[in-house]
Every structure is written in C-alpha cells, then in structure tokens.
Structure 1
Amino acid sequence: MSHIETTACIIGAGPVGATLAATLAAAGIPTVALDRAPLPPMELPDFDGRAYAIALTSQRLLAASGIWDRLPSQPQPIHRIRVADGRPGHDPSALKLDFDSAEVGPDPFGWMVEARALRVALNARLPHLPNLRVFAPAEASVSRTPEGATIRLTDGTTIAARLVVAAEGRDSALRRQAGIAVTKHDYGQTGMVGAFAHERPHNGTALEMFLPNGPFAQLPLAGTPEHPHASAFVWSDRRDLAARFLAMDEAGFARELTRRMGDHLGRITPIGRRWSYPLSALWAQRQTDTRLAIIGDAAHGIHPIAGQGLNLGFRDVAALAEAVIEAVAASEDPGGMATLRRYERRARPDAAIMLGATHVLEKLFGNDFGPVRLARRLGIATVDRMPRLKRAFAERAMGMGSGVSGLLGGQALMDLSAPRG
C-alpha cells in the first residue's frame, strides 16, 4: 500500500479531464488523474468516424498545455461556415448565411480534429509530465471534509488531495455524492455522428442546415491517402426516423446524407462507424462543493446544434486551471472556497449562455410552423445585412467574446504561475 499527497485529484481522464491534468501538471501543480477504464493504446487506431470541432480558444488552451503539438497529423482548419434554413438547391425559398474567417482575422474559426488523434496527443503528453501520476484502470472512493479530501483506490493506495475534480461525464457519481441536483430536458431526438468520403474538395467549409426534424452539419476533415476528400456529419432527427436511418446499408445511408446536404461535394461514401445517442440538455445547479469542482459533461450537457459541447468543457478547464494556479502562486488554498468561488464565477456565465443559446436555436430552427419559420428567415436576412452583428456571430464561433483572456486568450502557463504583485 502506498500513500500519495497531491494538490488536485481528477476523477475521469477523458478529453476534458486529461486536458485539465496536463494543464495543471505543466504549470508545476502536483496532480493525480484516475479513470475506471484503461487509457487507449498509444498507437493511432483505425478511424472510427468520430471528430471534434475545436474552437480557436480551445486550440490556445491545448497549445499552452503542450497537447496541440503532439497531434499525430495536421488538423483541418475551418475557414468558412455556411448556415442555411432549408436545403439550398432543393428548396427554392431556402436562405443561407456565409461566414468567412478572413473577415474576422488571420485565424480560422477552428479545426476539425479526429477523436483518435486527440487521444493519441493526450497519451503522448501525460507521461512526460513529472508532476502528474495517472491510475487507469482504477476504482476509487472519495471522502471530502473542509480540511481536505481522501481518495482510496481498490489496490490499497490512498491519495490526500486539496481538491477533487469530477470529470466523469453526465452520470457523475461525485456530483450525486455531493447532492447537487440537475435539471434535464429531453429533445426527443437522436444525434447521429460519423464521416463520409466525397469526390470534390470541401475547401475548409462547414455547412449547418436547419431542417424540420433537426439540424444537419457537414464538417470538413483533413484528407488521407485513402480518402483525400472527407467530412464528418452531425445529424439530429426524430428517434423513430433515426432508428430507420441507422439500420440502412451504406448505399441507403449515403442517399439520405445526400438528400440533406445536396450534391455539391459529388458522390459520397460513408466511412468509419455510425455513432448515435439520445439528445438531451443537462444543467447542474452548481459546479462546486466542499473540496470539489465539477467540469465538462458532469456539469452541463447541451444540444449539438452549435458543435460547442467539448469547447464548453475546455472553457471549464481554463477557468479552473487558472483559479488553482493563481491560488498556488499566491500561497492560497487551491481547494478552498475562495478558489472554488473564483472558478464558478468564471465558468458559470459561459455555460449558462451556451446552454440557453443552443436551447433557443433548437426550438427556433427545429420548428416548421409558418410564423416561426418566417421569424428565423427574417433573422438570417438581418444578420447578413449587418456586418457588425455578423462579425459578432463569427467571433462566437471561434469562442471569442468580451473578456476572453488567460489561457483562452493565448496566455502562457508561466505567466499565470507568476506571483501576483
């Protein structure tokens, strides 16, 4: 049996938890990360169809943490976003709105990163951090008091931590243990994600289409020798219809994809697996408790209509890492209430805005009632005619907004670690 003393113990080593572990350890903070599942193998597995849209601000966080440079291949930048109400080319009355990142600045809106590539980058980064210990697979029990937290592993190892972080996902045991209530909303939809190869280049353009049964997005992927032109799709539809689509053979599924986005990319061929999950929103009533911080999907789950779920988790990572690093630099308690309040004060408004925005978007664009459709068409036309408003929407897609600073603004970890004068 062994005993470990650490500053932070993170329960859950998915993309959000592992990124927090890397960020804290890279800043010199002693950190332990635990996960019930073994970490995936170091080598790049076969493509499985999953990919993430990483916003500009999230890329800055991953770069500061030493993860971005360890991606095994170049991610695909998103230079243009086309938003459409209806199906251009199919519906003569369809309206569209085009955004170009060059109109905002030199950076793209974001990057498409395959899930397997991000995992390989995380696995390549974690072992090189002397301030980090990872236990996976590991089962743990957690007890918390105002004085500190104790984590006991089934192998007899005990860990004394100043702060415990819940990063286990929507079904967070630590959140339940803390008695934190959640509000849930079932959208009655199934989300389907995957990828397809196509004949023509996508030119770094993403397409977001609002259809009566739910939104459909085509997101550009980096090409490979086998598939020089490829894209990911995120498709929300009624559960009964989604079950039918998921049961189709590849030719039938390809026809349904083409029906929704048109033939501007030429003939398409599904590649990798098809993934599906019920769509719901989740909102924890608070993100802190005694010696506990909650991040990512354990704290909030949003509709994928804007592709911001993982980015919202990364915003939690930045807010919590900054609060802990600043507390250590100032010789304050990194798991005390002052630090936790600082984290919640920074993370909570962002999460509330994003949850509200995605909920409103789903209700507005997932409705074919005549007056509602007229209202959203007027909205699209208005944004297209107002450059400042259009720029504000574009900056939001990048994760930018008023007050973006710290790790999301490109600040280096060493600058955060400097004692405040």
Structure 2
Amino acid sequence: MQRFDVIISGGGLVGLTLGIALSRHGVQTAVIDPADADAAIAPGFDGRISAIASATWNMLSAIGVGERLAGKGCPIERIWVSDGLKPGALDFVTPDGDGAMGTMFENRDIRIALRDAAAHADGLTLFQPERATSVDRDADGVRITLGDGQQIAAALLVGAEGRNSPTRDAAGMRVARWSYPHVGMVTAIEHDVPHANTAYEIFYPGGPFALLPMQPGNRSAIVWTVPAKQAPAMLKLSERAWLAEAQKRMGGFLGDIRIISPRSSYPLGFHHAATIAGTRLALVGDAAHGIHPIAGQGLNLGLRDVAALTQVLVEGMRLGLDPGDAQLLARYQKWRSLDSLSVAVATDVLVRLFDLQGRVPSAIRRFGLGAVQRMTPLKNRFMAEARGESGALPKLLMGEAV
C-alpha cells in the first residue's frame, strides 16, 4: 500500500492546483482523476475562459504555475458595469502603477500550465485516468482502492471533484442548492475596435451579457446569460442572426463582430455545503460551493480555498500534527466559511436584483451604480474584492511561500 500525507479526489483546475501547492511545501500528495489527461487539454474540450484575480495570480506565481502562463493571458485594467446601455454606469479603472485587477486566461491554457507544473513537482503522484472503487475513511485515516487494484492511504482526503462531488455526498454533507432559470452561452468574437483591456458587464432583465478581453486586443469572450426557455432557440440561430442579437446588446461599441470559436452552453445554478470539513475530510472548490458566473469569482473562490488549506496543513505539520488532525480542519472550516458564504450570497443577490424588470427597478439600479461610482472608499472596496485582496489573506495569495 502506497502512503501519502494527503489524497485529493479530483484533478481539475482547483484539485491539481492544491496538489502542486502542497507538494511544493514538502507534503506528499496524490491526485486521483478519471479524466484522460490529453483529452482534457484538447482544443475542443472546454471553450470557457476564467478571470484570475491579482491575488490568485500571486499564488500561481508562488507555486511555479505563473511562469508557465506568462504571455498567454490578457490583463483586466478596467471593468465597466451598466444597467443595459443606459447612463449611470460604474467604471472601475486600475490606477497607474497598481497593476491589473486580474487576467483572463483560456481554461485550456491553465490546464496545460498545471499539467506541466505537476510533472515537475516532487512529492506529487498523479493517478490519471483512474478512479476510486472503494473509500474507507475513519478516525485513523483514509484508505482507497483504485480501479486497477492499487491501494493507497493518507491522513486526509480532499474532495475536489466539482459540483456533483461523490466524496461530499458519501460523507452526508448537507448542501443548499437551486437552479437559476438561465443558461450561459459561451463563445469568442473578433471585433474591429480594440477592447483596451476592458471587461464589460451589461445587465439585462433576461440575464447579464459579459464581454471579457482576450489577446490580441481585438478578441473578446462572450458569456451571455439567457432565460432557459429561450436558450434552445438562441443556440439554433444562424451565425448571422446570433451576431445580430449580440450586437443589439453591445450597442455596436466594438464595431463589427465575428464569431471565432464554437458556441456552447451551460446550465447555471447555486450550491453551498453547510460544512466543508469532516473526519479526515476537507472540500475545496465547486465541491464546497458553486455560484453564478455574474462576477467571475467562481474559480477564484476555489483557489482561495487552496491557499487557505495549504497554509493550515503546512503550518500544522510543522508543529508535528498530521494533516487530518481535527484542529487543523476546524481552522480551515472557520477561515473559509465566511468568505465563501458572503461571496455566494452577494452574487445571488446581484442575479436577482438585476433580473427585476420595469422602469422603477432599473432606475434604482442605475442610482446605486452611480452612487458607488461617486463614493471613492466604497468603490475601492469593490475593487479590492475584485482583486481578491480583502479579508485575512493566506500567505500564498500575497505571493509568499508558507
């Protein structure tokens, strides 16, 4: 039986990042993932892109992933938020010398960087493609039998399998969840007018329309939220008709547009686990919480879990505790609960607020956006949230090793 300090079930963006972060600090770690590694980085596997907040980028740089992403992302130096195309927008602009609020990356590029970093990480063992056929978890530790018959053991199991985490469900952890009556349509476009490193979030009663900057400067990703009942018809539109509908929501401010990647769609929902730690068990990422993509914080929220859990485990092990110690897991639970819940609630409130139709709700929203625009301290607070730099930050989010 092979023995590790930590076993991570799930090797997606969050799970593999955790494996790399722990191994960089001398924690013997195993990652089990059923996905084929080559298929997961194929061009057509996942057309989505992710906003990596500046604090999250600090962590990726500290664990050796950032250098593998150099030159592949597009900095976000401005965020424009508006209620439709009406006056009264909220305009976040990065002050000179402060650096970008975040960087947009294609998920495929992040996966490639993580795979390369994992291949050079001492103390990290990947079982992929592989899955657990049995999991025995008790007060003494965790023992797992893999599909090929191998047996592995550890002091701690981390569930990182995503929204439908079998580890979370097997542990009987209660989850609050609901589905939004929306579908997110995703594609990329080329446009005549450069985006100037600006992310646009334009709210309509049917759902937000987001334009996210990509490299080079005349390419942007679209994340277009539409009512679920309209989604099948929207996806069946011809390319010309779809572009015409998109232009209506953009107002033509980026000039003529052309589709440059396949259109795809994803159902949208919310879930939040009542607890993210149990007997020799911790949850990270979408296994613990899943939110609406309205603010682009979903992946960052999961990577903040990674930073906190890494610090808790590494500091505890230096004191002679094993990584599954109940004291350490209680500290992780306490550290992450408030942040993850507050972000989840805030995004849910935004979704519902901007989904209200009529002149009065629109006027109230525009008044609120204008008020934040004029109140510098409040505006700076929102910018800090967008950067991921609020609250008690783990060392990795400050770019420091634990």
TM-score scaled by structure 2? 0.96
**CA–CA distance in structure 1, aligned partners of residues 191 and 365 of structure 2:** 31
1:63 pairs with 2:61: yes
Partner-residue secondary structure (3-state), 2:158: strand
CA 1:172/1:48 → structure 2, altered by over 3 Å: closer, same or farther? closer
Secondary structure (helix, strand or coil) at the match of 2:173 reads coil
| Superposed displacement of residue 402, structure 1 | 3.2
In 2, the alpha carbon distance for the partners of 1:291 and 1:384 equals: 46
Match of 1:258 in 2: 247
| Contact 2:89/2:366 (<8 A) preserved | no
Whether 1:127 aligns to 2:119 is yes
Residue ranges of structure 1 left out of the alignment (5+ in a row): 88-92, 417-421
Aligned partner of 1:351 among 313, 337, 340: 340
Query: Which has the larger displacement, 264-273 or 289-298?
Result: 264-273
Q: 1:201 aligns with which of 177, 191, 194?
A: 194
Equivalent position of 1:112 in the other structure? 104
Structure 2 CA distance for aligned equivalents of residues 209 and 296 of structure 1: 27
Matches within 5 A, 1:268-417: 268-411=257-400, 413=401, 416=402
**AA of the residue aligned to 1:66:** G
CA distance in 1, matches of 2:293, 2:271: 13
Find the counterpart in structure 1 of residue 144 from structure 2: 151
Aligned mates of 1:405, 1:34 — CA distance in 2: 26
Q: CA deviation at 1:373?
A: 2.3
Say which is worse superposed, 75-84 or 45-54, in terms of deviation.
45-54
Cα displacement string for residues 167-187 of structure 1 (whole angstroms, at most 9, x for unaligned residues): 001111111110011111221
Q: Which runs of 5+ in 2 are unaligned?
A: none
Local SS of the residue matching 2:322: coil
Deviations 1:118-154 (A, max 9, x none): 0110111111112010011112121101010001112
CA separation of 1:47 and 1:106: change in aligned 2, threshold 3 A: farther
Aligned counterpart, 1:6? 4
Aligned residue pairs total 401
* Contact 2:72 2:109 survives alignment (8 Å): no
Kindly, what percent of the aligned residue pairs are identical?
A: 41
Shift, 1:155, TM fit: 1.2
1:280 is displaced (CA, Å) by 1.0
Q: Which moved more, 1:105-114 or 1:161-170?
A: 105-114
- Aligned to 1:107, the other structure's residue is in SS state coil
CA distance in 2, matches of 1:45, 1:250: 21
How far did 1:47 drift?
Answer: 9.1
Deviation at 1:243, TM superposition (A): 1.6
Which whole-Å CA distance do the structure 2 matches of 1:42 and 1:185 have between them? 28
Post-superposition CA distance 1:21-44 (Å, at most 9, x none) = 000011111000010112136987
Distance 2:44 2:364 in 1: 45
Deviation at 1:45, TM superposition (A): 3.6
Aligned counterparts of 1:147 and 1:83: Cα–Cα separation in 2: 51
* RMSD, aligned α-carbons: 1.6
> How far apart, in 1, do the equivalents of 2:175 and 2:39 lie?
34
Question: What is the CA deviation profile of residues 3-58 of structure 1, one whole-angstrom value per residue up to 9, with x for unaligned ones?
Answer: 21100000000000000000001111100001011213698746963211110111
What's the offset of the Cα at 1:336?
1.2
Deviates more, 1:199-208 or 1:38-47: 38-47
Give 1:77's aligned residue: 75
Mapped to 2, the partners of 1:404 and 1:346 lie a distance apart of 10
| TM-score, normalising length: structure 1 | 0.92
Do 1:166 and 1:292's aligned partners in 2 also have CA atoms closer than 8 Å? yes
CA deviation vs aligned residue, 1:66-118 (integer Å, no higher than 9, x gap): 1111127431000001111112xxxxx43211110117x52201000011110
1:180/1:286 contact within 8 Å kept = yes
Partner of 2:19: 21
> Structure 1 residues 344, 48: CA separation in 2 closer, same or farther (over 3 Å shift)?
closer
The alpha carbon displacement at 1:375 in A equals 2.2
Q: Quick one: distance in 1 between partners of 2:23 and 2:147?
A: 24
Secondary structure of 1:382 counterpart: helix
Supply the distance in 2 between the matched residues of 1:100 and 1:186 (Cα, whole angstroms): 33
Distance 1:210 1:313 in 2: 25
Aligned 8 A contact 1:57 1:398 in 2: yes
Could you tell me whether the CA contact under 8 Å between 1:42 and 1:124 is conserved in 2?
A: no
TM alignment of 1:153-172, pairs within 5 A: 153-172=146-165
* SS of residue matched to 2:37: coil
Q: Kindly state the Cα deviation for residue 233 of structure 1 after the two structures are TM-superposed.
A: 1.1
* 8 Å Cα contact 2:74-2:215 kept in structure 1: yes
Taking the aligned partners of 1:320 and 1:380, their CA distance within structure 2 comes to 35
Counterpart CA distance in 1 for 2:300 and 2:29 is 22
1:231 aligns with 2:229: no
1:174 partnered with 2:163: no
Partner of 1:34: 32
> Could you say what secondary structure the match of 1:355 adopts?
helix
Name 2:84's counterpart in structure 1: 86
Cα distance, 1:195 vs. partner?
0.9
